[in-house]
Structure 1
């Protein structure tokens, strides 16, 4: 017979703090002295447990959402995931600062989530963990993006880019399990790569728990019928994931590399657009210096060219490398076909990356062929304007070689050969406009 004490020990309050908004969710970090909070205003907050001092605040915005429904820590405590009902999004946030490292959309609002680490070991998986990633040896490191452009570029400027990839895809396999209304259940390796979807469950998920060996999934659901509701418990067999554990791990690692590279290329394009706009805005103010020295270049122009080369050479070629490895994995149908790896989709992605590289090469050729004629023409035009206004012309500006005259002639022949085309905008555009496009 079990006997319980008639009086229970009292707990001493060690800290108290008033908050301006009502807290609806809180989750303690599994590794650090931190607690994640979500309030009714849609904010996600991070506080230290000892002093309850606020570490950072992630405010709601239109890009993510405003209605937080649940929180979950990655088992190593380096990432925090939270679900948003209004936009049906999952956001992965870095514990060091309130920045979204990755986000993705789901089909239904998420009501609960569980993030666990896979502890099942096999000889193949152990050797995979111990093996060094060949991409680190064959591919160059991604250069950091400049800090003075898009705010989002600081993800790859303040941190080393390969550390971001390592942060998104940790060495040990971990799985984020999501549950929502209408029996919605999905599993994501490293919190990013969808590896499974469970069907046949009815009701709204209240709790989820995936076993550490990936052999079973426990689900608690609630089905409402009028004023009454029924709570049910299911235990599902997930031996397929356990049987293909090394293959799932390899696919998930490739996906995290590809996702981080796509993010890097998108940020490079954003920075390029901002750099080009700044070049156009500064064209008038820098025209005098631009034409006085043939070799004049500005930091903005240098950064624009570096961004173009980085996005093409580093990001695109690394992306092509990982997609080619995925294509080889898809050819091994016995291992990867049951996991849904589609060779046709990978081939389409490789074609798209190749088209992007060709377009970047075309852009480089346009810039290279345009700038020598463009510089020579505006230098000649500046001298002509000074002579028309009877201003003093510096001696070095009067020195034009035969090569400079040829560049000016080529510019005039190419762009001003037919006047009606210039005014009706039906003929050739300036090559520099192609850069803006």
Structure 2
């Protein structure tokens, strides 16, 4: 018994700004669209808005939108060349990449997993390269990064969640970005650029990329381009590297994501350390500013030394201690300074050191991959570059440990100073001094004297904007410049051992200590070394892609190209090209290892109503609903110019296609004209408004039609039951039944 389906209208809504892109999610009832202001909004099927995202800069326009195949991330391309990866859960930007040219198209594809019988196990049938899929076991040994600030705010949790959403991927997927200058950027997981294809070089002249499509097994790329004379062509490119080395590319890309996330995390932590340090200096400066203005440069240090050595307190210092600072103020001030030191130490130990060690783990795993030359050499993974990154990371961790030593020493100095100063205030106030404060050793005097050196520049009249309180021994590590006071390592046993055994100094397994570099300089070197690891694979992989054939198709003039493409199986693809606005060219290309065949047909549509069968519809837009169904947006040639949403089964149309010479020009071939209105089964509905374009999703069974003024949308359920929509137009044969047959 046949099940009858109909097209049912769900919603009709007006929007404030003109819409220019609409894309359905294949996993959820969500539609993403952009408007002329460059905003991107995410709406549910009921048209309730989930969120809206402003463009990164004022004046930018959206050039393309694509969903990650699992529906968790949205890729948004702008005319500036920027591509943003946005979490659909909270519109958090999880990654930003740039191209050098304006983006013309964007798509996101995933490998299709072939189901194998579970009861059949025959190792001989396995392919030679069918290794076990890479499984990341790092969480068994190392923790995920903690929030980069000391207060665990919701924003930090969202930041970590955003990075994890890129790491926790189980299937190989590719983001394809085409540009108007003829390049295709291929990014694994949307962020690791593994190849950049120059289509201009393949063709021998400049072109604009209009569409990029991968075959089901990822072994072939079909790039639709338009040249300066508006000739439309499809360039077939051999991309079998994606098929033969899927697992290797997956594992390398996953390591890239983890390493870049850790580098970003460390960068944010260093920024937090720097900000905490600057706040620390500013706190002391503010306390001493009023007093510092009353004495010459160096006078603050001199007054404190007089009080320390001789017990003499100048009137300015006494006023500062009794009026500005006070005993209670000193206690509170000491707690603030101690907290600043503690915060910096925590960031160094729990964030920098801990997750710097995590970097070593992932780099070591990556080096292990590089040593499997029969698997990874073709990807350009270099063991030497990875070893250099490991050495740089070791030097970075050594520098963090060195900075920790300086902080420990500074804490001793500051505590000795504040204990003495507290006793001095009690002495001036004629209050009893506790015995533990009263006692002072010669070592304590040395600590206090060293701390007082930081006050030397307070009271400078030459440069009032310059910070007065300077802790140079510690602050130098947070400057992008060589250390001015390097740590003396001559008494260190390991340093002495290496000096005595020069053969070990340059051994790749021995981590080097660069005494003159700051923490910032060492981190910059580490960042560059990690980026270098993945630059070589990108350059090597470019050479693995070979142009196979160029299909010369059509010339529709300078109007924007409306087309759609879909995989039928691993060897067969279907393309539809809209010839404004009279007909649709349906093209099927069959490619396997032995041959390449193409079939084509031209479809037009006469009136579906019997009153005016001679009239021909205008065709506004065309999309593949599924591999078996084509959806079209038609428009009546009447004053009302009502749109019609139509779907028909491709099985009836494919029979009428004719084989064409792939070496000739398709448009000049003897292509049959087919009246689509006579094809069955089909399904259609009058939209009752003038329209511009539409978007469909076969997996979600929905469509959305945009009005001619681009300020109104209508949402439809494409496979409703007949009784749900009495006035829906339908044929007496279910399309789904036809497809099943």
TM class by smaller structure: 0.7 to 0.9
Structure 1 residue 79: deviation in Å? 0.6
User: In structure 1, what is the Cα distance between the partners aligned to 2:11 and 2:435?
Assistant: 75
Structure 1 residue 104: deviation in Å? 1.7
Could you say which residue in structure 1 is the equivalent of 2:438?
400
Could you say which residue in structure 2 is the equivalent of 1:157?
157
Which of residues 144, 153, 156 is equivalent to 1:141? 144
Q: Deviations over 1:386-426 (max 9, x none)?
A: 65xx43546449833335x623423315754998999899x
Structure 1 residue 430: deviation in Å? 4.3
Could you say which residue in structure 2 is the equivalent of 1:4?
none
1:24 alignment partner, SS class: strand
User: In structure 1, what is the Cα distance between the partners aligned to 2:457 and 2:282?
Assistant: 28
Q: How many residues align?
A: 412
Structure with the larger helix share: 1
Which of residues 128, 144, 149 is equivalent to 2:133? 128
Could you say which residue in structure 2 is the equivalent of 1:46?
42
Higher mean alpha-carbon deviation, 38-47 vs 368-377, is at 38-47
Aligned pairs for 1:263-302 within 5 A: 263-283=264-284, 292=331, 296=335, 300-302=340-342
Could you say which residue in structure 2 is the equivalent of 1:242?
243
1:16 alignment partner, SS class: strand
1:80 partnered with 2:74: yes
User: In structure 2, what is the Cα distance between the partners aligned to 1:338 and 1:140?
Assistant: 32
Aligned residues of 2:145 and 2:351 also touching (Cα < 8 A): no
Could you say which residue in structure 2 is the equivalent of 1:104?
97
Aligned pairs for 1:186-201 within 5 A: 186-199=185-198, 200-201=202-203
Could you say which residue in structure 2 is the equivalent of 1:217?
221
1:252 partnered with 2:253: yes
Q: Deviations over 1:325-375 (max 9, x none)?
A: 222322333322221223343233323322321221122111100111112
Aligned residues of 2:413 and 2:451 also touching (Cα < 8 A): no
Aligned residues of 1:366 and 1:435 also touching (Cα < 8 A): no
User: In structure 2, what is the Cα distance between the partners aligned to 1:77 and 1:164?
Assistant: 16
Higher mean alpha-carbon deviation, 414-423 vs 189-198, is at 414-423
User: In structure 2, what is the Cα distance between the partners aligned to 1:269 and 1:296?
Assistant: 23
- Residue 111 and residue 278 in structure 1: after superposition, are their counterparts in 2 closer, same or farther (change >3 A)? same
Structure 1 residue 236: deviation in Å? 1.8
Could you say which residue in structure 1 is the equivalent of 2:21?
25
Q: Please, which runs of 5 or more residues in structure 2 have no aligned partner? A: 115-125, 288-324, 480-741
- Residue 306 and residue 414 in structure 1: after superposition, are their counterparts in 2 closer, same or farther (change >3 A)? closer
1:82 alignment partner, SS class: strand
Structure 1 residue 384: deviation in Å? 3.1
- Residue 433 and residue 247 in structure 1: after superposition, are their counterparts in 2 closer, same or farther (change >3 A)? closer
User: In structure 2, what is the Cα distance between the partners aligned to 1:29 and 1:300?
Assistant: 48
Structure 1 residue 145: deviation in Å? 3.1
2:345 alignment partner, SS class: helix
Could you say which residue in structure 1 is the equivalent of 2:174?
175
Q: Which has the higher contact order (CA 8 A, sep 6+)?
A: 2
User: In structure 2, what is the Cα distance between the partners aligned to 1:160 and 1:196?
Assistant: 28
1:323 partnered with 2:363: yes
1:354 alignment partner, SS class: helix
User: In structure 1, what is the Cα distance between the partners aligned to 2:333 and 2:89?
Assistant: 47
Aligned residues of 1:205 and 1:220 also touching (Cα < 8 A): yes
Q: TM-score, normalised by structure 1?
A: 0.81
Which of residues 36, 55, 60 is equivalent to 2:55? 60
1:15 alignment partner, SS class: strand
Aligned residues of 2:166 and 2:257 also touching (Cα < 8 A): no
User: In structure 2, what is the Cα distance between the partners aligned to 1:288 and 1:44?
Assistant: 57
Structure 1 residue 233: deviation in Å? 1.4
Q: Deviations over 1:181-225 (max 9, x none)?
A: 232012111111122232325411111111231111111111123
Aligned residues of 1:177 and 1:210 also touching (Cα < 8 A): no
Structure 1 residue 140: deviation in Å? 2.8
Could you say which residue in structure 1 is the equivalent of 2:373?
333
Q: Please, which runs of 5 or more residues in structure 1 have no aligned partner? A: 1-8
- Residue 413 and residue 204 in structure 1: after superposition, are their counterparts in 2 closer, same or farther (change >3 A)? closer
Could you say which residue in structure 1 is the equivalent of 2:83?
90
Structure 1 residue 251: deviation in Å? 0.8
Aligned residues of 1:147 and 1:157 also touching (Cα < 8 A): no
